[in-house]
Amino acid sequence: SQFSDHMFAMEYIDGQWQNQRIEPFGLIEVHPVSASLHYGQTIFEGMKAYRGVDGKIRLFRPEMNHRRLTDSCIRMCIPPVELETFLSAIEELVRVDHQWVPPYEGQALYVRPVLFADEGSLDVRPANRYRFLIITSPVRGYFGAGSPAVALKAEEKYTRAIQGGTGSAKVGGNYAATFLASSHGRDEGYAQILWLDGVEHRYIEEVGQMNICFVLDGKLVTPPLRGTILPGVTRDSVIQLTRDMGIECEERMIDINEVIDGIKNQTLQEAFGCGTAVVVNAVGSIGYRGQQYEIGNGEIGPLSQKLYKLVLGIQRGEVEDTHNWTREVALS
């Protein structure tokens, strides 16, 4: 990865966030017995800054990222950051390093806020000192008209999250816990893991680090937010835009067998993952219990492609932002 020249930093000391600053990007010192290193008390967020054809730089629904960050803070006993502090920090950092925002379609400046404990104590409890950093990194597009649809492996051995756990929070440990299953999947030729519920290994939850959607009988169907999956910003946007098209959307439990049956009888027309990194990533096939099931003709479907272009168009200022989702970063 490549990173921009600066980063935002502040500390939580004596019961309050303080010492807000933009400083040169570089290494930091962390206490060797901080709870972030030993007990995983760390959370993060992810969003992008986009440069439109008009030269303006826009953020996409950053208020929703803040809401999710706050929920993650509460779940992990970390003091939340105020909305105005969050937005002004991101905007100032992007403004300082605006030359790092790529002008090309499908590319953007990735923005990564991270909060972590940094108190010198081995006590098994929430820390009293924390740090909040924001770094940025230019990224390329992951998906487009010529990109192939990906193959998924439905995972029955390993579990990403369970009810009452941290599945709906953007916690560092959630991601580390997926590495083993993902590595096994790649060795078997799969691009991503299709996660099933942690009790019956039957109900679909997420794909990789993305939310998952299916087009079943002409409806958009996606798993509900019930505390085990991440409430994705792109997911919420895709649902709203699909409804704007007059297409019915259902947020409900989806049995893996319903999906397999839908593929077999061709009532399942499309499947795609959605998230900040990829926007929309079409699914071409699913591997389940040693069998491969190709969706449609294994290529990108019309709704997947339309949603990709629509979301990206709003982010770049090429499509009317009827929901007021974008926030322009003033460069002067």
pLDDT digits (tens, 9 = 90+) for 286-332: 999 999 999 988 888 999 999 999 999 999 999 999 999 999 999 98
Q: Which of 183, 202, 272, 184 is nearest to 234 (CA)?
A: 272
Q: Are strands 150-155 and 130-139 parallel, antiparallel or unpaired?
A: unpaired
The answer to whether the beta carbons of residues 162 and 199 sit under 8 Å apart is yes
The answer to whether the beta carbons of residues 212 and 160 sit under 8 Å apart is no
- CATH class label, 6-139: alpha beta
**H-assigned helices in 209-266:** 233-244, 256-264
Question: What pLDDT score does 132 carry?
Answer: 99
Backbone region of residue 93 per phi and psi (left: phi > 0; alpha: psi in -120 to 50; beta: other values): alpha
Residues of the chain with CATH 3.30.470.10: 6-139
Sequential DSSP letters for 14-55: TTEEEEEEEEE-------TT-HHHHT--EEE--EEEEE-TTS
Residue corresponding to tokens 């699914």? 283
| Cα–Cα distance list, 194 to 201, 212, 300 (Å) | 11, 9, 18
Q: Residue 142: which pLDDT band, with cuts at 50, 70 and 90?
A: low
Cβ contacts of 242 within 8 Å, gap of 6 or more: 220, 249, 303, 307
How large is the average pLDDT for residues 163-175? 97
State how far the Cα of 51 lies from the Cα of 98, in Å rounded to an integer. 9
The helix (run of H) or strand (run of E) holding residue 153 is strand 150-155
Determine the CATH number of domain 150-315.
3.20.10.10
State how far the Cα of 310 lies from the Cα of 247, in Å rounded to an integer. 15
Residue 121, pLDDT > 60, answer yes
Residues of the chain with CATH 3.20.10.10: 150-315
State how far the Cα of 274 lies from the Cα of 33, in Å rounded to an integer. 37
How large is the average pLDDT for residues 198-205? 98
Q: Residue 145: which pLDDT band, with cuts at 50, 70 and 90?
A: very low
pTM reported for the whole predicted model = 0.96
Residue 7, pLDDT > 80, answer yes
